[in-house]
């Protein structure tokens, strides 16, 4: 339940009458920020079926409607926060958020947060980049670089793609993505899609049943859902299904402070939730292995991506 503490007992200086509301947890890796996201989305009041994904250190997933809610968490966040990619960084000024690759020259054009010189690449930029590299035929289904384009370089025996040269960046260093980085991203996107697959199967529903797919957090604020579908990170459903909630944790906290009724509803939401442990699912590892290809080993799950891919002779 929602806990209430006098602010001064927690060492927070303020009005002596100020109180701190701590939103309830759901499980080991699912905290009050996820409940705040459920509150903001309104999925707990909706007859239609929805999914909410909050990508941070982990990827927390909520599936359900007004009658029931199921929650799971998976380790799909670190690569998208730049933690395991050499030129990765969090979404901040100077981070590349959008990437497009010229189909003839195979050179990248980048858009940064704040429109300044690029300093690194954030999660949404990484998703864009992988999708564009795949669609252009620079990388194959395994994430291996198969092009001899001028933007392809080799560093310490490992192939890499150069997004921006040092004279274009804010750091004076090239911004690149190597095959090792791509492999880490494949694991990340595979973990995300596998978690989504497991939770829907456990609930006895399919992706086609979803009327809303909410994406929360900083990643959700910048993510292009079409690109996320292209790499097989999220299901191939109508793009209009996807909706960004941006900073749903902050918005939910504000709503909780401003409305006693909404704050009390959080406890009702918590009671509706069933927590699912993904790692005890017997099919998890097999599903994960199948998901670590672009977009997936079962390409029939991603028909829109197949229509965009170049033929072998055009790569």
Q: What's the pLDDT tens digit per position in 198-212?
A: 999 999 999 999 999
CA distance linking residue 201 with residue 301, whole number of Å:
15
The owner of tokens 């982990």 is 58
Nearest Cα neighbor of 153 from 141, 166, 142 is: 166
Q: Considering the domain boundaries, does residue 48 fall inside one?
A: yes
Quick one: three-class SS letters along 122-186?
Answer: CHHHHHHHHHHHHHCCCECCCCCECCCCCCEEEECCEEEEEEECCCCCCCCCCEEEEHHHHHHHH
pLDDT of residue 82: 59
pLDDT given at position 281? 77
Q: Kindly report the length of the chain.
A: 315
Task: Tell me the residue range of the domain where 193 lies.
Answer: 3-75+186-288
pLDDT of residue 315: 44
Number of compact structural domains in the chain: 1
Q: How far apart are the C-alpha atoms of 18 and 7, rounded to whole Å?
A: 6
In a domain, 247, yes or no: yes
**Dist CA 56 CA 130 (whole Å):** 19
Asked if residue 106 belongs to a domain, the reply is no
3-state secondary structure of 214: strand
Q: What is the pLDDT of residue 16?
A: 82
Average pLDDT, the chain: 91
Asked whether residue 253 is assigned to any structural domain, the reply reads: yes
- Residue indicated by tokens 């947890």: 25
Please report whether residue 88 resides in a domain: no
Percentage of the residues of the chain whose pLDDT score is greater than 90: 74
Q: What is the pLDDT of residue 83?
A: 62
Q: Which residues of the chain have pLDDT under 50?
A: 312-315
| Angle, helices 260-272/32-41, rounded to nearest 10 degrees | 110
Residue 93 lies in a domain: no
Residue 266: inside a domain? yes
Q: Which residue has the tokens 């504000």?
A: 254
pLDDT at residue 289, as a whole number: 94
* Domain-located, residue 80: no
**CATH code (residue 264):** 3.30.420.40
Identify the pLDDT of residue 75.
67
């Amino acid at each position: 339940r929602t806990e209430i503490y006098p602010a001064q007992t927690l060492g927070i200086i303020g009005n002596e009458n100020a109180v701190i509301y701590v939103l309830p947890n759901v499980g080991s890796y699912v905290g009050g920020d996820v409940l705040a996201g459920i509150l903001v989305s309104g999925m707990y009041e909706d007859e239609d079926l929805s999914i909410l994904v909050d990508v941070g250190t982990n990827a927390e997933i909520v599936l359900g409607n007004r009658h029931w809610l199921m929650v799971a968490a998976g380790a799909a966040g670190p690569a998208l926060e730049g933690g395991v990619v050499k030129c990765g960084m969090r979404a901040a000024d100077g981070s590349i958020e959008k990437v497009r690759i010229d189909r003839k020259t195979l050179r990248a054009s980048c858009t940064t947060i704040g429109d300044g010189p690029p300093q690194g690449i954030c999660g949404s930029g990484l998703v864009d980049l992988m999708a564009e590299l795949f669609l252009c035929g620079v990388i194959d289904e395994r994430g291996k670089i198969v092009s001899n384009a001028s933007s392809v370089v080799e560093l310490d025996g490992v192939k890499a793609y150069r997004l921006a040269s040092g004279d274009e960046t804010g750091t004076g260093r090239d911004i690149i993505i190597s095959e090792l980085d791509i492999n880490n991203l494949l694991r990340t996107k595979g973990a995300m899609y596998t978690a989504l697959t497991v939770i829907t199967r456990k609930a006895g529903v399919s992706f086609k049943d979803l009327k809303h797919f909410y994406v929360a957090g900083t990643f959700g604020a910048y993510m292009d859902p079409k690109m996320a579908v292209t790499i097989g990170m999220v299901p191939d459903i109508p793009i209009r299904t996807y909706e960004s909630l941006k900073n749903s944790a902050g918005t939910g906290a504000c709503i909780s402070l401003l409305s006693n009724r909404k704050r009390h509803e959080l406890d009702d939401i918590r009671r509706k939730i069933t927590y699912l442990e993904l790692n005890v699912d017997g099919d998890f590892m097999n599903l994960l292995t199948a998901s670590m290809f672009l977009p997936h080993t079962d390409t029939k799950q991603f028909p829109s991506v197949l229509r965009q891919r170049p033929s072998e002779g055009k790569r």
